[in-house]
Amino acid sequence: MTADAAVLLLVDLQQRLAPAIHRGDRVIDRTARLAEAASLLGVPVLATEQVPDKLGPTVERLAGYPHLVTHKSSFGAEPGGLVPPGRSEVVVTGMEAHVCVLQTTLRLLADGHRVLFVADAVGSRDPDDRSAALDRARAAGAEIVTSEMVLFEWLRDATHPRFREVQKLLK
């Protein structure tokens, strides 16, 4: 995984959905860590919003990061037009893991993208649903990673000019 090939995708991290998610604050914290690092490292940040007139916009803490927000009513986002040209790796975070995050992941995989499903930055209302989503995503070909794994792979080396700034995000 490299910062040059990656995009960070925030799936439906929306104001009215977030309070219902098991450990939702942690999902948002880990996603914010990734979004801040992405900003430092030149990784585009994209977001989807599921029926925003009902579920609200992206949570305030993350709202300033996406370069593009796509509104949708289908549970899985369409890959066409979502991933910029020249980017083949999609680092996926979001809510709910077993519905919109999983269906978007399956569509991205079918479209030929490498998908990295960030285990500590996805959530569902029920932990069992999240667990099943991780299993299914893995079986379909997504790589299950953690936010820290992503950060260090994007950096590659302790001599990276942004190493200290990214390292601070882990505290």
168 is catalytic: no
Which amino acid, 72? K
Catalytic residue, chosen from 25, 72, 111, 171, is 72
Active-site residue among 4, 12, 53, 168? Answer: 12
Q: For residues 52, 17, 101 and 120, what is the CA-based torsion angle, rounded to 10 degrees?
A: 140
Residue 116, token pair as written in the block? 């990295």
Catalytic residue among 4, 100, 120, 128: 100
72 included as an active-site residue: yes
Beta strands 45-50 and 6-11: pairing type? parallel
12 in active site: yes
Q: Letter for the amino acid at 93?
A: T
Q: Which of 33, 34, 35, 71 is nearest to 51 (CA)?
A: 71
**From the CA atom positions of the chain, what is the Rg in Å?**
15
Residues forming the active site: 12, 72, 100
